[in-house]
Amino acid sequence: MAILATSERDWAERTKRLAARPPDLDIFSQGLVERLNGGWRITEKGRRP
């Protein structure tokens, strides 16, 4: 994510390409990642293989 965040104008395009890969993946509604003030955090569920 650090690479994407620092790519400035390419951010939106790269994010769209990443999102298109696993179409059924929704990291927030599936509880894999939580939004925090100033960023995101991977949950315990998101760390499980």
**CA 14 remoteness from chain centre:** 11
Closest among 4, 37, 6 to 19, alpha carbons compared: 4
Is the overall model pTM greater than 0.75, yes or no?
no
DSSP assignment, residue 24? T
Kindly report, residue by residue over 1-49, the tens digit of the pLDDT.
666 566 666 777 777 787 787 778 888 999 999 999 988 999 999 999 8
Kindly report, residue by residue over 30-40, the tens digit of the pLDDT.
999 999 998 89
d(CA 13, CA 4): 10
Closest among 6, 3, 48 to 30, alpha carbons compared: 48
Give strand ranges (E) for 1-49.
33-36, 39-42
